[in-house]
């Protein structure tokens, strides 16, 4: 298979990953067919050989001196270290051998060195962050002053643009160490233990003598993975290793012309999963030159609010329509219920653990069995939460990218909410805000947008929901559009008489985000550590031009002068609907409803809502006063995720401009 990817004009190479599953294998020497269980056993034997060697390497070099040498990128002779971690470790002389009595080829050792080298390289950033926080340790770790924040940002590499939440979490970790030991740690290597080596096979560190992958000639959607696996858990010689051919069905997300790379094999639920990496051609994205942008605002129950904005040649900004919303209150309510259940199980398991003591010595304790049952149930609940968050993140990301494609946008602007910490809204609401899947949604939006050549840029979130999108005046937030004097947070009203804009808070926010991104697109930079495009600062001169110009001119209420002849009006207007029933049909009932009268009953639920789904039935708490339709009937995920805004959230005509002050 050719490893070179042909690129056309305006294209670039992009490497992504997809999941696959190894369902069976064939021993090439004997023709023996391996079932999924037998194949998982053999892969597990090979995977068990790697963590031990990787853990030994990590324990030996888990110190500041060795990590600095590896991160410097040069060896003792001044030569540049290779990019592959296993090659860099061998250049430095950090080698490892297989346990006594175990015979493995050099490629198994490579995978262990690759795993250890990646972990040691990733520790450099945490070491510098911890050293900077320790160098500027505050007088009160729970509350830093403004000067102490400036000092710690100067001490941390790249601390100027580092989210404050990262510094706070590291500060809490150091403070916990100080309370336990009565002193500050010397560094991250005393604060944290060496990471545990995962039970997986990094085949990317191997060559054709250990594993190969080729597409099927007849069906491009299938590939054949060949790799050497042991025939026993403790191979004594090379005769205990044999070649096994494993067919893999490619997911439909992998293009037919993509270049495949050797996957990473890992064990999950007694099956072998393959993380298939591939490289394919995608359109190039640009940092500047955007004319149509999609602004996306975050929320809680209304998870995403998005709309498109156009930048005209004369510098004006106009909104393309009223935007849309992705509402997931039912899914988030279920996730909140599972979180509370998980906390309850954890608390109960911890209580059993305190009563049992050391589980290695008290395996016969009467509560030991109950403790194991609780741990298994906790694992199942955590898996349900993970799957639910993953499904929600993919659905929200797909919706946002589809909005950008439909509007013809070339860039998506998102708020950078990594530093957001929910405060002052109650314990329950603060927790729900902090545990939303914004990070997963952002990663998936970048993944899907890159396939179509749409750039994704994060912008500062300052005052996006506070200022008017048309005049930048601080807004007055009210309970609802029909309650303009009741303080709230959902509905926003501009107090400027010449503007008078009002609308949903999130609708104004996405307009502000898109306008800020289009006016600041020349300030877009690429983060060196993550490779993501960001706008880090807000320039006052550019911010003054980030206003949305209304597409229609609103007539003044004070000007009642005539602009033309008065239209003739009938003295007897026709009724809105007939006041008498329609004639009765011969075979119909005794009468009909009046024509034009729409049914007032709610539409019937889909068939999925009437199916009994047993343990997967979705239900939400009813004590909070909110119950999504079909929740108790178990309609599943999609009945709880909506992409259509409710009718009351559509901007209404301005009815409060003449009411005077609302303060």
Q: Are strands 455-459 and 411-415 parallel, antiparallel or unpaired?
A: parallel
- Both 178 and 252 in one domain: the answer is no
pLDDT of residue 597: 52
* Between residues 420 and 229, the one the model is more confident about: 229
* Between residues 611 and 334, the one the model is more confident about: 334
Answer whether residue 581 is part of any domain: no
Written as six digits, the tokens of 367 are: 């509560």
**Residue 497 scores a pLDDT above 50:** yes
Report how far apart, in Å, the C-alpha atoms of 266 and of each of 45, 51, 190, 254 are. Answer: 12, 12, 30, 20
The mean pLDDT value for 367-387 works out to 90
Answer whether residue 98 is part of any domain: yes
pLDDT of residue 355: 87
Q: Are 263 and 15 in contact (CB under 8 A)?
A: no
Confidence of residue 420 (pLDDT cuts 50, 70, 90): low
Tens digits of residue pLDDT in 295-326: 999 886 688 999 999 999 999 999 998 889 99
pLDDT of residue 610: 47
Q: Which helix (H) or strand (E) holds 393?
A: helix 368-407
Q: Are 554 and 497 in contact (CB under 8 A)?
A: no
Q: Which helix (H) or strand (E) holds 342?
A: helix 329-356
Tens digits of residue pLDDT in 59-84: 999 999 999 999 998 988 889 999 99
pLDDT of residue 505: 87
Buried b / exposed e across 242-271, counting CB within 10 Å, b at 16+?
Answer: bbbebebebeeebbeebbbbbbbbbbeeee
Answer whether residue 555 is part of any domain: no
Residues 6+ apart with CB under 8 A from 351: none
Tens digits of residue pLDDT in 35-58: 999 999 999 999 999 999 999 999
pLDDT of residue 91: 92
Starting from the edge strand earliest in sequence, which strands make up the sheet with 317-327, in order?
A: 317-327, 302-311, 292-298, 411-415, 455-459, 533-534, 525-526
pLDDT of residue 636: 59
pLDDT of residue 614: 40
pLDDT mean across residues, the chain: 83
Entry field: residues in the chain: 663
- Both 23 and 74 in one domain: the answer is no
- Both 297 and 440 in one domain: the answer is yes
- Both 312 and 449 in one domain: the answer is yes
**Residue 619 scores a pLDDT above 90:** no
Of 543, 567, 584, the domain-final residue: 543
The mean pLDDT value for 329-353 works out to 88
Long-range contacts of 117-122 (CB under 8 A, 24+ apart): 117/70, 117/85, 117/86, 117/88, 117/89, 118/85, 119/54, 119/58, 119/194, 119/195, 119/197, 120/58, 120/61, 120/62, 120/66, 120/67, 120/70, 120/85, 121/70, 121/71, 121/85
pLDDT of residue 33: 94
The mean pLDDT value for 78-91 works out to 92
Give the chain's domain count: 3
Partner residues linked to 12 by β-bridges: 282
Confidence of residue 663 (pLDDT cuts 50, 70, 90): very low
- Both 300 and 279 in one domain: the answer is no
Q: Are 304 and 296 in contact (CB under 8 A)?
A: yes
Say what angle helices 146-155 and 164-181 make with each other, to 10 degrees: 90
Confidence of residue 633 (pLDDT cuts 50, 70, 90): very low
**Residue 463 scores a pLDDT above 60:** yes
Partner residues linked to 648 by β-bridges: none
Query: Which residue, among 539, 535, 516, 537, has the nearest Cα to 527 in the 3D structure?
Result: 535
pLDDT of residue 647: 44
pLDDT of residue 77: 86
Answer whether residue 256 is part of any domain: yes
Tens digits of residue pLDDT in 498-509: 888 888 888 899
* Between residues 609 and 556, the one the model is more confident about: 556
- Both 82 and 136 in one domain: the answer is yes
Of 220, 248, 283, the domain-final residue: 283
**Residue 617 scores a pLDDT above 50:** no
Q: Are 66 and 117 in contact (CB under 8 A)?
A: no
* Between residues 249 and 570, the one the model is more confident about: 249
- Both 261 and 297 in one domain: the answer is no
The mean pLDDT value for 413-422 works out to 72
Q: From CA 5, how far away is CA 258, in angstroms rounded?
A: 8
pLDDT of residue 527: 85
Confidence of residue 250 (pLDDT cuts 50, 70, 90): very high
- Both 68 and 136 in one domain: the answer is yes
- Both 427 and 513 in one domain: the answer is yes
Written as six digits, the tokens of 491 are: 């509905």
Answer whether residue 178 is part of any domain: yes
For the residues of 442-453, what is the DSSP string, one character each?
A: HHHHHHHHHHTT
Which of 189-193, 246-250, 363-367, 388-392 is the least confident region? 363-367
Report how far apart, in Å, the C-alpha atoms of 109 and of each of 70, 118, 224, 276, 638 are. Answer: 19, 14, 24, 22, 47
**Residue 592 scores a pLDDT above 90:** no
Query: Which residue, among 396, 401, 439, 398, has the nearest Cα to 420 in the 3D structure?
Result: 439
Confidence of residue 130 (pLDDT cuts 50, 70, 90): very high
Of 157, 191, 225, the domain-final residue: 191
pLDDT of residue 3: 62
**Residue 485 scores a pLDDT above 50:** yes
The mean pLDDT value for 138-151 works out to 90
pLDDT of residue 522: 93
Buried b / exposed e across 323-349, counting CB within 10 Å, b at 16+?
Answer: bbbbbbbbbbbbbbebbeebeebeeeb
Strands (DSSP E) along 250-338, which ranges? 259-260, 264-268, 271-283, 292-298, 302-311, 317-327
Structure letter (DSSP) for residue 626 = -
Confidence of residue 357 (pLDDT cuts 50, 70, 90): confident
Which of 202-216, 254-268, 434-448, 634-648 is the least confident region? 634-648
**Residue 650 scores a pLDDT above 60:** no
Report how far apart, in Å, the C-alpha atoms of 556 and of each of 471, 493, 559, 654, 657 are. Answer: 17, 18, 6, 11, 11
Q: From CA 98, how far away is CA 50, in angstroms rounded?
A: 9
- Both 270 and 172 in one domain: the answer is no
**Residue 594 scores a pLDDT above 80:** no
Q: Are 306 and 324 in contact (CB under 8 A)?
A: yes
Answer whether residue 270 is part of any domain: yes
Answer whether residue 308 is part of any domain: yes
* Between residues 9 and 301, the one the model is more confident about: 9
Q: What is the largest CA-CA distance in the chain?
A: 106
What is the CB-side half-sphere exposure of residue 439 using CA atoms within 13 A?
Answer: 6
CATH number at residue 313: 3.30.420.10
**Residue 431 scores a pLDDT above 60:** no
Query: Which residue, among 107, 330, 317, 78, has the nearest Cα to 201 in the 3D structure?
Result: 107
**Residue 474 scores a pLDDT above 70:** yes
- Both 208 and 175 in one domain: the answer is no
Quote the Cα angle for 156-158-162, to 5°. Answer: 90
For the residues of 247-267, what is the DSSP string, one character each?
A: EEEPPTTS-TTPEE---EEEE
The mean pLDDT value for 135-139 works out to 92
For the residues of 534-603, what is the DSSP string, one character each?
A: E-----HHHHTT--BPPSSPPPPSS----SSPPPP--SSPPPSS-SSPPPPPTTS-S--PPTT----SPP
Answer whether residue 58 is part of any domain: yes
- Both 39 and 67 in one domain: the answer is no
Q: Indicate the pTM of the whole model.
A: 0.77
* CB neighbours of residue 551 within 10 Å: 11
Structure letter (DSSP) for residue 489 = S
Confidence of residue 649 (pLDDT cuts 50, 70, 90): very low
- Domain of residue 481: give its range: 292-329+391-543
């Amino acid at each position: 298979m050719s490893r070179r990817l042909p690129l056309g004009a305006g294209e670039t190479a992009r490497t992504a990953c997809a999941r696959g599953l190894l369902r069976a294998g064939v021993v090439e020497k004997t023709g023996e067919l391996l079932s999924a269980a037998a194949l998982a056993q053999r892969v597990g034997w090979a995977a068990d050989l790697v963590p031990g060697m990787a853990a030994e390497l990590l324990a030996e070099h888990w110190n500041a001196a060795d990590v600095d040498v590896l991160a410097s990128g040069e060896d003792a002779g001044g030569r540049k270290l290779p990019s592959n971690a296993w090659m860099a470790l061998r250049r430095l002389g950090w080698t490892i051998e297989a346990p006594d009595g175990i015979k493995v080829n050099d490629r198994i050792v490579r995978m262990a060195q690759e795993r250890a080298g990646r972990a040691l390289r990733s520790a450099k950033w945490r070491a510098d962050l911890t050293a900077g926080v320790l160098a500027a340790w505050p007088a009160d770790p729970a509350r830093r002053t403004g000067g102490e924040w400036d000092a710690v940002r100067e001490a941390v590499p790249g601390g100027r643009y580092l989210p404050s939440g990262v510094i706070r979490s590291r500060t809490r970790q150091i403070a916990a160490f100080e309370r336990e030991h009565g002193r500050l740690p010397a560094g991250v290597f005393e604060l944290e233990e060496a990471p545990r080596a995962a039970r997986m096979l990094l085949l990317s560190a191997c060559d054709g003598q250990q594993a190969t992958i080729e597409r099927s000639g007849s069906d491009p959607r299938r590939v054949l993975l060949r790799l050497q696996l042991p025939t026993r858990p403790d191979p004594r010689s090379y005769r205990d290793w044999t070649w096994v051919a494993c067919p893999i069905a490619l997911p439909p997300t992998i293009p037919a012309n993509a270049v495949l790379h050797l996957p990473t094999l890992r064990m999950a639920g007694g099956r072998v999963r393959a993380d298939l990496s591939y490289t394919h051609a995608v359109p190039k994205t640009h940092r500047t030159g955007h004319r149509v942008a999609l602004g996306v605002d975050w929320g809680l129950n209304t998870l995403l609010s998005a709309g498109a904005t156009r930048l005209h040649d004369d510098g004006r900004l106009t909104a393309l329509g009223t935007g849309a919303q992705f509402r997931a209150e039912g899914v988030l309510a279920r996730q909140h219920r599972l979180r509370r259940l998980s906390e309850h199980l954890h608390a109960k398991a911890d209580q059993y653990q305190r009563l049992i003591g050391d589980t290695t010595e008290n395996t016969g304790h009467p509560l030991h069995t109950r403790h194991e049952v609780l741990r298994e149930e906790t694992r199942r609940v955590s898996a349900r939460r993970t799957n639910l968050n993953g499904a929600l993140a993919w659905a929200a990301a797909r919706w946002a990218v589809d909005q950008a494609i439909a509007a013809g946008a070339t860039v998506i602007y998102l708020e950078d909410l990594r530093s957001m910490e929910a405060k002052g809204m109650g314990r329950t609401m603060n927790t729900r805000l902090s545990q939303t899947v914004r990070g997963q949604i952002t990663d998936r939006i970048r993944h899907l947008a890159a396939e179509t050549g749409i750039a994704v840029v994060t912008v500062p979130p300052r005052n996006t929901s506070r200022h008017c999108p048309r005049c930048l005046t601080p807004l007055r937030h009210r309970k609802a559009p029909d309650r303009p004097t009741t303080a709230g947070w959902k509905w926003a009203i501009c107090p400027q008489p010449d503007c008078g804009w009002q609308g949903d808070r999130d609708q104004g926010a996405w307009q502000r985000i898109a306008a800020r991104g289009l006016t600041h697109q020349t300030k877009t930079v690429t983060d060196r550590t993550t490779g993501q495009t960001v706008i880090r600062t807000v320039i006052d001169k550019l911010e003054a031009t980030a206003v949305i110009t209304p597409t229609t001119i609103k007539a003044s209420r004070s000007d009642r002068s005539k602009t033309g002849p008065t239209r003739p009006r009938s003295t007897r207007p026709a009724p809105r609907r007939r006041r008498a029933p329609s004639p009765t049909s011969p075979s119909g009932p005794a009468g009909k409803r009046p024509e034009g009268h729409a049914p007032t009953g709610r539409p019937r639920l889909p068939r999925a809502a009437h199916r009994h789904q047993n343990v997967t039935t979705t239900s939400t708490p009813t004590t909070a006063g909110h119950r999504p339709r079909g929740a108790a009937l178990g309609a599943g995920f999609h009945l709880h995720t909506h992409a259509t805004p409710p009718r009351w959230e559509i901007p209404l005509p301005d009815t409060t401009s003449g009411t005077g002050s609302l303060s």
